[in-house]
Amino acid sequence: MIMLSLRLRDGLDLHAVQREYGQATVASLLPKVQCFLQEGLMQVVLEVQHNGDGIAPESGGCIKDVNVTGDEAFDYLCQRLTQGRACRVRLADPAGFLLSNDIISDLFAQLDPSTLSKVV
C-alpha cells in the first residue's frame, strides 16, 4: 500500500493507513513525512473528492501550489488526521520522484518490524 501509493500521482492517504494499520503506524511515519515536506520532496494534497475515475485533487492541487511552507503543510496534515479526514501526501515532481526509492526506504525504516511485514 505505502510503496505503490507513493509511486502514483494520487499519493498515500495517511488516514487510510491509520484505519488499516493503526495510529502507531502513522505516528511512526510522521517525523519523516515532516522532513520530506520541509525539503520539498513531498506535497500534501488538498481536499480530495471522489469522482467516476477515482480520487482526484480538488481545484488548487496541492498545498505547495498555493505557496504554503512545509511546516504549514504538515500542520494541515496533522489537523486532517486528528479530524479523521482523508489526508494525502505525494512525492513532489520532479525532486520527490527522482528520490522515490530513498524516500520509500526511509519511511519503511520507521515502521515496527511486525507492521512492516503487513504493509509490504
Q: What is the pLDDT of residue 72?
A: 85
Q: What is the pLDDT of residue 48?
A: 43
Q: What is the pLDDT of residue 38?
A: 92
Q: What is the pLDDT of residue 86?
A: 82
How far separated are the first and last CA of the chain, in Å rounded? 7
Q: Which residues of the chain have pLDDT under 70?
A: 47-69, 120
Q: What is the pLDDT of residue 66?
A: 38
pLDDT (tens digit per residue) in 61-94: 554 443 345 888 899 889 989 988 888 898 988 9
Q: What is the pLDDT of residue 120?
A: 65
What pTM was computed for the model?
A: 0.80
